[in-house]
Amino acid sequence: MDFLPFALPEIGDDEIAEVVDTLRSGWVTTGPKAKRFEAAFGAFLGEFLGAFPGDSSLHCIAVNSATAGLHLALEALGIGPGDEVVTTTHTFTATAEVVRYLGADVKLVDIDPVTLNIDPAAIAAAITPRTKAIMPVHYAGLAADMPAILAIARQHGLKVVEDAAHALPTTSAGRLVGTLDSDATVFSFYANKTITTGEGGMLVTRDGALAERARVMRLHGMNRDAFDRFTAKVPSWHYEVVAPGFKYNLTDIAAALGIHQLKRLRGFQQQREALAALYDEGLAGLPLITAPRAPAGQTHAWHLYVVRLADDAGITRDRFIERLYEAGIGCSVHYIPLHLHPYWRDRYGLSAAQFPHSQRAYERMVSLPLYTRMTDGDVERVVAAVRSALQ
């Protein structure tokens, strides 16, 4: 039987035609399609729940990765040496590394053992006079406890930057992630995310000053981008460099993919939701904890379907993954917590005992394949392999 990969992007004819159109157009870097993608993204967020039709206060800034977007957001908020930013240990290193780019320090905290999201009580306990910001991650596509996190931030005068790399589309207490009361939200369009541009990201904010700074810093700290200069009706070669910026702009080739991926996002989410429900059903009664679910009525983006082996599973996590590979099924682990990686462990003198919930989850967790190109039969095949591995 064919190998069932852990993740696959779903790229259709519309995406391909739009990329070809871009290639033939003569404008391949950041230009009209990146602008169209930004506008369409803002419209999507504004209209998803019908709550903010065409919400014009949302600024969407396309970048070449979520990592870039997180960096730009923290830079625009003035995070720097001497500052501390609190985030979860149970994330990808990108969330934390951007804090170090700016010379600030990372305060890693533990997760809630049920949702696997950052624990608000642990955030509150980690706050010091140096704390400037909180970076929640909506793990697997399930919203972190944003009402509690935003309340802590208000109480202590902290900024909030959401790492929403998994959370498109996700709702939190009836509102869409990207439209909440945080300072900025960053989405990822990496190859295995819920929509993809190959590489890419979107920084979303209601803060006009943050948006302006991020737009300038995304392209070398120049106050006018190349498309504006080269397409102006009057000679306009002039620009000024106002800061030592970065090279974080999204190309039109990538944006061409994003424009059409976005149109399919609602359908993608429904497919992922249905596949997750099939997993829940098929895995019921086995010695494992199925993926945490969103509260009733809330949208889960279902970027990942993460199970945890129960104490009586009778097999180690590593052996379990080997058994699935032997059955031709790819899987992964999200994540090796940051406190176990040499850089983070050594810089902050961390040990597993400081993060009991993340550590325990890590030792038992496996991410099963979950993507829109999977059929119901594929899920059944994974379920059968899981059953057999647990026998």
Ligand X SMILES: *Cc1c(COP(=O)(O)O)cnc(C)c1O
Residues noted as catalytic: 193
Closest separation in Å from C-beta 310 to ligand X = 26
Minimum distance of ligand X from residue 253's CB (angstroms): 16
Q: To the nearest whole angstrom, how small is the minimum distance from the Cβ of residue 201 to ligand X?
A: 5
Minimum CB separation from ligand X for residue 95, in Å? 5
Identify the residue among 27, 37, 41, 92 touching ligand X (CB under 6 A): 92
Choose between 90 and 364: whose C-beta lies nearer to ligand X: 90
DSSP 140: G
- Cβ at position 71, least distance to ligand X in Å: 9
Q: Kindly give, in sequence order, each residue whose CB lies less than 8 Å from that of residue 151, ignoring residues fewer than 6 positions away.
A: none
Q: What is the per-residue binding string for ligand X in 118-157, x denoting contact by CB under 6 A?
A: -------------------x--------------------
Residue with Cβ nearer ligand X (193 or 213): 193
Q: What angle do CA 53, 54, 58 make, to 5 degrees?
A: 115
Q: Cα–Cα distances in Å, from 16 out to 21, 25, 200, 305, 307?
A: 9, 14, 17, 28, 35
Residues 184-213 that bind ligand X (CB under 6 A): 188, 190, 201
As measured in angstroms, the least distance from the Cβ of 161 to ligand X is 11
- Of the candidates 30, 67, 170, 249, which one interacts with ligand X according to CB under 6 A? 67
Tokens 């460099």 identify what position?
A: 241
Could you tell me the smallest distance in angstroms from the CB atom of residue 332 to ligand X?
A: 11
Q: What element of type H or E holds 302?
A: none
The residue from 91, 182, 185, 194 that contacts ligand X (CB under 6 A) is: 91
Which one of 1-9, 63-71, 244-252, 366-374 is the stretch in contact with ligand X (CB under 6 A)?
Answer: 63-71
Residue 220, both tokens? 């070398």
Name the segment binding ligand X (CB under 6 A); options: 53-61, 92-100, 206-214, 347-355.
92-100
* CB-CB contact of 366 with 2 (8 Å): no
Residue among 95 and 251 whose Cβ is closer to ligand X: 95
* Interface map 317-346 toward ligand X (x if CB under 6 A): ------------------------------
Cα 221 to Cα 249: distance, rounded to the nearest angstrom: 12
Residues with Cβ within 8 Å of residue 248, at least 6 apart in sequence: 63, 64, 65, 68, 69, 71, 72, 217, 218, 219
* Spatial contact of 80 and 102, defined as CB atoms under 8 Å apart: yes
Q: Which token pair is 18? A: 């739009």
Count of residues touching ligand X (by CB under 6 A): 14
Question: Smallest distance from the beta carbon of 93 to ligand X, in angstroms?
Answer: 8
Distance CA 103, CA 80 (A): 5
CA dihedral of 311, 315, 316, 317, whole degrees rounded to 10: -90
Q: Which string of x and - marks every residue 152-191 that binds ligand X (by CB under 6 A)?
A: -----------x-xx---------------------x-x-
Q: Which two tokens stand for residue 4?
A: 């069932």
8: exposed, middle or buried (C-beta count within 10 Å: 0-12, 13-18, 19+)? middle
Kindly state the DSSP code that residue 247 receives in the 8-state scheme. Answer: B
**Strand-pair partners of 171:** 176
* Per-residue H/E/C for 311-357: CCCCCCHHHHHHHHHHCCECCECCCCCHHHCHHHHHHHCCCHHHCHH
Site stretch for ligand X (CB under 6 A), options 1-9, 59-67, 284-292, 376-384: 59-67
352 by Cβ neighbours in 10 Å (0-12 / 13-18 / 19+) ranks as middle
- Residue 31 as a binder of ligand X (CB under 6 A): the answer is no
Q: Which of 15, 30, 45, 65 binds ligand X (CB under 6 A)?
A: 65
Q: Which residues bind ligand X (CB under 6 A)?
A: 65-67, 91-92, 94-95, 137, 163, 165-166, 188, 190, 201
